[in-house]
Structure 1
Amino acid sequence: MAHIDLNSDLGESFGPWRMGDDAAMLDIVTSANIACGFHAGDPAGILATLRAAAARGVSIGAHVGYRDLVGFGRRNMNPSSAELVGDTIYQIGALQALAHVAGTKVRYVKPHGALYNTIAHDARQGADVIEAIRAVDPGLVVLALAGAPFVEQARSAGLAVVCEAFADRAYNADGSLVDRRLPGAVVHDPAEVAARMLKLVTDGTIVAVDGSEIALDAQSICIHGDTPASVEIARVLRAKLASQGVSLVPFATSHG
């Protein structure tokens, strides 16, 4: 039987500003990438999301990003290696402490936003993130963009890597994500998302914006928690996969 993990970016609300519906999404996904306070999230809200995830048996990952609250971590930055290593360690450590209090633990790391896209191809920043993860816990799994050079870079450094595809994002023919500033970068139709991801799980391919089919080796599917109608997209996707006999399993459990 085919199986896949569903992950979502959660814990992103800040004070009175609500971002997404964490409780509803946690009823659907199997892994949660929790904001660590640098691109989004405040300690009280992060703790509440961790407790909700723990109650549902959802696997926890540290969603580390640039120090960029105003830009939601989506602005390109070029911190020094010392800064990036330190910031990444700091974020993982903060989430580990909150997770411990919530009765769960951090099992993986997924860089967020601009940092995620930068390290996909920037070997220097990628090495900094790898160094930070190894310094904290070399047993942490890394969740990364399928097909990106960073995947082999992290594996060569001894880290376990799980590759993901994005349910609600359009792809270029080279396997990169379409820039969010361009029209059609985000896919909003739940039925279209479900059909695209079923094809990925069963055939290992996805249709790019130019109509070509690209191969993606992905063990997890990401649904952005801040996308409009994200909960509905996740529900329709989960139902579609289940109807075709695809089981949903958190990837981190298979890596200890």
Structure 2
Amino acid sequence: MSLLIVDHVTKTYTSSHWFRAKRKEEEAALSGVSFVVEPGMCMGILGESGAGKSTLGRIVLGLLPPDSGRISFNGVDLYRATRRERKRLRRDLQVVFQDSYSAVNPRMSVLQIIGEPLRNFERLSAQEERRVVAGLLETVGLVTDDMHKHPQQMSGGQLQRVNIARAIALKPKLIVLDEPVSSLDMIVQKQILYHLKELKEKYGLSYLFISHDLLAVNVLSDRVAIMDKGKLELMLKES
């Protein structure tokens, strides 16, 4: 069974033009978008700013309902799911955003940040939570003592590794990577991308990798969809 099915998804936004007698016009952010992500696969969504990539990511995450079409995740229609099904789907569907600092609460320690999904879905003692967080930090190339730090004490690359650790904490089936390295310098970008690749191979993770960077997408993706003006113009298979 396919893990994620995006089937003819359309989304339009209504905008007002003040210099045209306040006439309202509909602008298509997504127009009949369809693709499939299989278990253990990374699908890259490549396109320039304004192509519709971020809208697609929000729809796949269940944050923005489409106007038409269907999103099926792990065999469940994402926007027709029951409350119980939605809770289960939230566990299996995680995200890493572009801005590592805005994605976390600056008042929380790294232990609290990574432990948050564990507290939401698992019943662990404080000691067990610390043990799991320590293991996750080591998995993403950080050290156990980093759990006592706060975001302002870490570099952008270190904090993005914390965000990745949080995303894999519950062993999800799919992680949406929304421009996860675009705000980092080239050396750190390469480190993060290859680490994501290692995690994918080690845990059988599936990714939806949204980016404007062709080189970054090629490092990680098994298949690439080119998005232009809300449409998928080309599908490139791995050679």
| Shorter-chain TM-score tier | 0.3 to 0.5
Bigger relative contact order (CA 8 A; separation at least 6): 2
* Greater C-alpha radius of gyration: 2
TM-score (norm 2): 0.36
